[in-house]
Every structure is written in C-alpha cells, then in structure tokens.
Structure 1
Amino acid sequence: MSTRISTSMMYSQSVALMMSKQAKLSHLEQQIATGSKILSAKDDPVSAGAAVGLDRSLAALDRMKLNAGNVQNRLGVQENTLAQVGDMMGRINELTIYANNPALAPADKQSLVTEIKAIRDNLLSLANSSDGTGRYLFGGTNDGDPPFSQVGGKIVYSGDQTQRKVEIGPDTYVQDALPGSEIFLRIPTGDGFVDGGPAAGNTGTGVLTNVTRDGSSTWNGQSFSVRFTAADQYEVLDAGGTVVGTGNMKTGDDIVVNGVRMHIDGKPAAGDSFAVTPSSSRDIFGTLDALIGTLEADTGSPAKLAVQQNALQSSLRDVARAAERMIDSRAAGGAQLKALDNAADMREANGVTLKTTLSQMRDVDYADAMSQYQLESTALQAAQTLFSQMQSMSLFNKIR
C-alpha cells in the first residue's frame, strides 16, 4: 500500500494549521481584552457551572444587604420614636408627682390636664409614625393604614400583632419593628404582678402609696383585701369575704400580708378596705385618660381628696410600667440593630470569599496569557513562513 502526498493536501494542511493558530490567537486576545478566561461554557464547563452558582450567591447577598438597609431604617425610626415616647412618659411621671400635692389649686390641676392632653395627642401621633416609605411603623404586617385611631373618645388599634422576620444574611434573620400592640397596649398595672386599690365606698383619708410583692415571694396570686376595723387595726379577708387574719398598722410601717407588701398613708376609717389583685393590663392611652379624669374629679372633702390621691398613686404605678415597656421595647430594637451590624460583617466576609473564588475561576492570568500569546504568535508566523515557502516549490524548478 502506498500513500500519495498531493500538493492540494499539503496546501490544506498548511491552511488548517494557520487557521488553528489564528483562532487560538484570537481567543487569547479576547481573554486578555476582557480579563476573563471563561469566554463561553465550553472553555471550562465545570468552572462555568460553579461560577453561575457563585453569582447567584452574590446576588442573594446583595438582596440581603438591601433587606438589611430597609429594616435598619425602620428600626432606627422606631428607636427615635420610642426615645420621644420615653421622654413624654418621664414628663407624665413628673406631672403626676406634682399633682399628688394635696394643696394644689384647681387652676393648677387644670393646667396639668391641658398639658397631659397635649402629650396624649402627641403620643397618638407618634404611635402612627411612618417609616418614610409610606408604611406605618407600628401596624405589624397591616402597615398600609394608620394603626391607631380615636373612636368615641377611645383609642382603637387596627393593626395586627405579627412581627416580620427579615433575612439579612445566610440563615440569619432579624425582627422588624414591634407591632403597636406590644408597645402601647396590654401594659401591666401595679408592679407588673400585683396591684391594689381602695374600695369605692371608703370614707377615711387612707391612701395606698405602694403595693408590691414581698421579698419572700410567697404570694400565691390570689386576691384578698385588707379591711380596717379602726384607724390602726385591720383584718384580712380572702376572695370570698372570709376573715383569715388580723393585724395592727403602725404609722409609717408597711403591711405585709400573704407575701404582699402594702403601704398606706393617712387614717383609714373603720370599714375602709383596700383590695389586692393580680395585675391586669391597660393601654397607655387608657392610663392617661384615667389620669385626666382623676385630675378633673371633685375634691371638695377629705374623703374625695383621698380618692383622688389613691387614683394618682395608681396612675404613678401604671405610668412607671408604661415607661418600663418603652425601655424594654428600645432594648429589643437595639438587639436587632446589633444583629444587623454583625450580619453586615458576615455578608462582607462571605462576599470577599465568593469574589475571590470567582476571580480564581474566571479571571485571566495575564502573565500566563501573554506568554501563550507570544508562543501562539510565533507559531503562526512559522506556519505562515512554511506556507509561503511551500507555494514557491515546483518540479519545474528541478527541471531547470
């Protein structure tokens, strides 16, 4: 068997070699110009597929960064709003303490009422704060309309009690602003566990200035009452009205009964009683409404003045609980803001890692690419020289 080497075959091989070198050279030029060594998936199918996955991870990080920015804005507005509410509650506390002065003139009390009403209106405005994007801050997930409104003189909450969770990092979530029901509603009365107050028919001047659990914490959560048989003597009645104990009260001393500590100033009349009950709950607006009603009440007799002072003492306890709620709410928001800072660091670290990995997969090594370019350029020149020499070859040259 013999192999025939024809002139056309040699031409074809030379042209194919030059075209191959030109294609390789063109590919290297594109890599150098774009800085990417993967111009199409066929260049490195495995790396190309992995790079797409990394691109998606980077896009997810960008989306989480946007989420974090939005929730950080809302939590920042919440912090500023609650700080203002806390200042207002501090002012309410000052006004309530001032109102406890028995010698206060009716005109002075009316001035207090005017200021407290103004504060109440400001609180309602703050409770309907917007985050600046048209969404109401304290409406929960129902944040398209103002969450608080006044109906028949009472404040009504129309938001929901859901608190969004927002993804701000891989498997990392923070809670959005608190719903208004958790800030302005359901605030415990008394000391947060136990509460107390005078009976409606009291005729003496006894004022319950403090009621709280005793340090022994033996209160079983049951209601009871302390009924005075004389200014310095009392009996203890359970919730059914049965006498279960007796005692004497010395001026300036506390009464400690069933794990509850009470302090009563003034002189209770025989038959006066003070009830002790588990704490209930009241919204912040109801507390202010009760305080306004108390200050507007008639105090034309010592007994009526004692009723007012008892109510003011109750308001002081309720205002203190409302102020604590603001502090707790601010602390919860601060914890979320701290989580946002930590998530930002994590996103930055993950982003750097992903971009470094992508760079290793995609970015061209310029030193290696230039070396390859020089090598392919030289090979192309050699192929072109060979083709040129082959074109000049002819049997007629040998004949001559």
Structure 2
Amino acid sequence: MRISTAQMFNQNISNLNRGQTQTSKLMDQLASGKRVNTAGDDPVAAIGIDNLTQQNSLIQQFQKNIDYATKHLSVTESQLGDAETLSMSIRDRMLAAVNGSYSDEERQSIADEMRHSLEQLQTIANSQDESGNYLFAGTNSDTQPFAFNNAGNMVYSGNSDVRTALVATGVAMPTNIAGDAAFMNAPNAMGDFGVNYSTAQTGDFTITSAKIADPATYVADSYSFNFIDNGSGGMDVEVYDSASNLVTTVNNFDPTNTISFNGIDVSIDGQPSVGDSFSISPQATVSIFDTVQQAIDLFENGNAINTPAGQSQLAQLLNNFDNGVDQIRIGRSQSGTSLSSLDNYSSNHADTTLVNNSALSVLQDLDYASAVSEYQKQQLAMNAVSTLFSQVGKVSLFDYL
C-alpha cells in the first residue's frame, strides 16, 4: 500500500494533537485537583456534580438566614428576660406599698421607684438592633413602637406582623416578636371588661369576673351597678347602661350568685354595702405599662390604697399585672422555641452538606497518583511520537542515490 508524504505528515500531526490535548487535560486536572472540570470530561458525573453544587449553594443561603434569625431572636430573648426580671421587681414594690404602716411619703418613694422601673421597661420595649431597627415594632421596624400619650396611656405604633426567614425548603421561621403581643395584649384578668370602683365604697368586695357569657344576646356598652336598700332588710342591685337607662334590677342580691344581664355575667367576691357602686367598660386586653401606671397613680393618691376601693383596685391591678408578666414570658418562650428549632435546622444542614461534599468528592476528586502516572506515560508517548516523526521526516530518496 502506498502512503504519500502528505498523508504521513497529517497522520503524525493528528497523533501529536491528540496527545497534546490529552496532556493538557491531565494538566488541568492536576492543577484543579478535580477529575471533572467540564461536562465533556464525564457527562453523567457532571449532572450529579451540578445538582449537588446547587444544593450546597441553597444550604449556604439557608445558613445565612439562620444566622440572621438566631442573632435577632437571641437579642429578643435576652431583652424579654430582662423585662421579666424587671417586672417581678415592680411587683414586689406593688406588694410592699400595701403595708398599712407606710406613710404617704414612703408610698411616694415606692411610686418613684416604680416610675423609674416603668421607664426602664419602656426602654427595653424600644430596644434596637445593631442596624437601628426596633426589635418589638413588628415589621414597622423604623418607627419607635412605644410611647405614652398625653393621657398617660401607652400607645403602640408598631404592627402585629412578624418578619420571617426561609431556613429550609418550605420552612419560614419568625425572626422577631411583635411588641403588642409581648407587652400590650395580655388577657384582662376580669374577662372582657375593666372595672372602676367608686371612691365612696365602704363594703369589702372585689369583682372577680366580668365577661361576655352569651354573644348572641350581648349588648356592647358600659354599665354601672348601684347597691340600694330594698326596704326589707336586704339589698338590691340596679344596673344602668351608659345612657343612664335602667337595664335590670337584681332583687335581694346575694354575692354568691352571678349578676346576669344582656349576655354578660358579673361575679363578686365579698360583701358590698348599701350605697356602694362600680362600673364596667369593655376591655378584653390590658397593657402591662398601663397597669403599672395605674398602680403608681393609686400609690400617689394619699391614703387611697388603704380604702376598700383602693384595695379592690389593687387586687385587680395585681391580677392584670401577673397576666402582663405571663405575656412577656410567652414571648420569651416563643423566642427560645424558635432558637431551638433554628439550631436543629442548622445541624441538619451541616449534616446534609457533609453528605453532599462526600458525594462530590467521589464524583469529581482526582486520584493524583493515577493522574501523575498517566501524565508521565502520555509525556513519554508524546516524546516518542515526536522523535519518530522528526526522524521519518528527514528520510529522502536522494540519500540513497
């Protein structure tokens, strides 16, 4: 078979090019430490590598979100813990002020301490993170959430929304506790109504419950209760609405029985006296700030705390205060629960990343010993082909003539 010079040259150049390509591929693998650098190196492995890399990238984003949520919830949990500790100190001051031997000056001193603690509690509720965002403002984090109005009542300027962070596929975790949930919306200890006692009260009684018993017949309004002599040695209770219309009369009142009217049940503990009165107004939730402020006002009102009305009011304030503290504890517990869940998700992501990296290693990591050996063999073959080609290329018929 006849082989032309051109054909011989082309074949040898092709062999050299293939060898050089293979050598270049081996050099890339040795430089990167990876067996698969392009899809052409191993199409099947490349698909698996791409999927695993995408999973790891997604997990990295989840981990960043977890770190962000953990940081904010840790600060939130700490602040709520401080609020709880401060609140218990305020409660101790409230109980101390009941001491009948205290003078007005001593009660004023306790009121001053409570006012200072109330300011500290407000400062905690207006806490900010490192970026200046308010922790307890809901999603309205650029607005200070808590401030007293001119009437001395706490006003919440945040919202009830909760910020979330995606910490796993389909899983969004809260990263904050809304301020109204933590400090403002404690259940009213009385039920659905707030109670106002008359300063002229002489009987020893407190309202233990004032709630909506039958929503179907409930008539929303404020109501007043007057205890009157029925002329038969007993006492009746007259109930009036806010327009001073007589709603009902309970004859021969027995404090062990519930007063029921307009879908409302009112329970009394103790024994009222003729001439006593009280009123109720709709109030389903209470604010721990307003509760403390009302207690301060009571202690600053001379000897009012030692009157029957003052004692009844204080009992109501203590119950509402305890509900307010429970509300703070609930917020703190929610923060702790979320932190625990975030820790679990972080641990799961770390395990998944470890498994993915192990699989990636199998698919793409280079066996250096085999690669170096193959590179050396390829170099040897290239040198041999190159030498042979150069020798053959020098052969000429004229050398034999």
Q: What is the TM-score of this pair, normalised by structure 2?
A: 0.82
2:226 and 2:309 mapped to 1: Cα distance?
Answer: 17
Q: Which residue of 2 aligns with 1:128?
A: 126
2:92 and 2:228 mapped to 1: Cα distance?
Answer: 32
1:308 and 1:185 mapped to 2: Cα distance?
Answer: 24
Flag structure 1 segments of 5+ consecutive residues without an equivalent. Answer: 250-254
SS in structure 2 at match of 1:43: coil
2:90 and 2:170 mapped to 1: Cα distance?
Answer: 43
Q: How many residue pairs were aligned?
A: 382
* Residue 108 to residue 325, structure 1, CA distance change in 2 (3 Å): same
* Residue 261 to residue 307, structure 1, CA distance change in 2 (3 Å): closer
User: What is the letter of the counterpart of residue 188 of structure 1?
Assistant: P
User: What is the letter of the counterpart of residue 43 of structure 1?
Assistant: D
* Residue 6 to residue 314, structure 1, CA distance change in 2 (3 Å): same
Q: Tell me the CA shift for residue 122 of structure 1.
A: 0.7
Which whole-Å deviations, capped at 9, do the CAs of 1:363-398 have from their partners, x for residues lacking one?
Answer: 223344234324423432442343245245444566
Q: Tell me the CA shift for residue 336 of structure 1.
A: 0.8
User: What is the letter of the counterpart of residue 358 of structure 1?
Assistant: L
Q: Tell me the CA shift for residue 298 of structure 1.
A: 4.2
Q: Which residue of 2 aligns with 1:32?
A: 30
Amino-acid identity (%): 26
For 1:54-203, what aligned pairs fall within 5 Å after superposition?
54-152=52-150, 153-190=152-189, 193=191, 197=195, 199-200=197-198, 202-203=200-201
User: What is the letter of the counterpart of residue 281 of structure 1?
Assistant: T
Q: Tell me the CA shift for residue 170 of structure 1.
A: 2.2
Identify the range of structure 1 (26-35 vs 233-242) with the bigger mean alpha-carbon deviation.
233-242
* Native 8 Å contact 2:186 2:287 kept in 1: yes
* Residue 235 to residue 103, structure 1, CA distance change in 2 (3 Å): farther
1:235 and 1:126 mapped to 2: Cα distance?
Answer: 48
For 1:296-307, what aligned pairs fall within 5 Å after superposition?
296-299=300-303, 305-307=307-309
- The equivalent position to 2:289 in structure 1, one of 285, 289, 301, is 285
User: What is the letter of the counterpart of residue 123 of structure 2?
Assistant: S
* Native 8 Å contact 1:160 1:179 kept in 2: yes
1:383 and 1:19 mapped to 2: Cα distance?
Answer: 11
User: What is the letter of the counterpart of residue 180 of structure 2?
Assistant: S
* Native 8 Å contact 1:196 1:211 kept in 2: no
1:233 and 1:82 mapped to 2: Cα distance?
Answer: 51
Q: Tell me the CA shift for residue 118 of structure 1.
A: 0.3
Does structure 1 residue 211 correspond to structure 2 residue 208? yes
Q: Tell me the CA shift for residue 74 of structure 1.
A: 1.2
- The equivalent position to 1:20 in structure 2, one of 18, 31, 51, is 18
Which whole-Å deviations, capped at 9, do the CAs of 1:283-305 have from their partners, x for residues lacking one?
Answer: 222112211111122437x9x71
- The equivalent position to 1:263 in structure 2, one of 232, 247, 269, is 269
* Native 8 Å contact 1:73 1:131 kept in 2: no
SS in structure 1 at match of 2:307: helix
Q: Tell me the CA shift for residue 20 of structure 1.
A: 1.6
1:277 and 1:220 mapped to 2: Cα distance?
Answer: 17
SS in structure 1 at match of 2:184: coil
- The equivalent position to 1:348 in structure 2, one of 343, 347, 350, is 350
* Residue 235 to residue 352, structure 1, CA distance change in 2 (3 Å): farther
For 1:308-387, what aligned pairs fall within 5 Å after superposition?
308-387=310-389
1:155 and 1:199 mapped to 2: Cα distance?
Answer: 22
Which whole-Å deviations, capped at 9, do the CAs of 1:49-90 have from their partners, x for residues lacking one?
Answer: 554444333222222212211121111111111111111211
* Residue 233 to residue 90, structure 1, CA distance change in 2 (3 Å): farther
Which whole-Å deviations, capped at 9, do the CAs of 1:339-372 have from their partners, x for residues lacking one?
Answer: 1111101211222233233333332233442343
2:332 and 2:39 mapped to 1: Cα distance?
Answer: 52
Which whole-Å deviations, capped at 9, do the CAs of 1:7-57 have from their partners, x for residues lacking one?
Answer: 332233223212321221121122012112233343345544554444333
Q: Which residue of 2 aligns with 1:294?
A: 298
2:62 and 2:227 mapped to 1: Cα distance?
Answer: 62
Q: Tell me the CA shift for residue 256 of structure 1.
A: 5.3
1:396 and 1:94 mapped to 2: Cα distance?
Answer: 119
Identify the range of structure 1 (387-396 vs 4-13) with the bigger mean alpha-carbon deviation.
387-396
Flag structure 2 segments of 5+ consecutive residues without an equivalent. Answer: 241-245, 260-264
1:276 and 1:288 mapped to 2: Cα distance?
Answer: 20
Q: Tell me the CA shift for residue 125 of structure 1.
A: 0.8
2:251 and 2:351 mapped to 1: Cα distance?
Answer: 68
* Native 8 Å contact 2:197 2:313 kept in 1: no
* Residue 248 to residue 13, structure 1, CA distance change in 2 (3 Å): closer
Q: Which residue of 2 aligns with 1:252?
A: none
User: What is the letter of the counterpart of residue 162 of structure 2?
Assistant: Q
Q: Tell me the CA shift for residue 273 of structure 1.
A: 4.6
Which whole-Å deviations, capped at 9, do the CAs of 1:169-190 have from their partners, x for residues lacking one?
Answer: 2222210211111112122222
Query: RMSD value over aligned CA atoms?
Result: 3.3
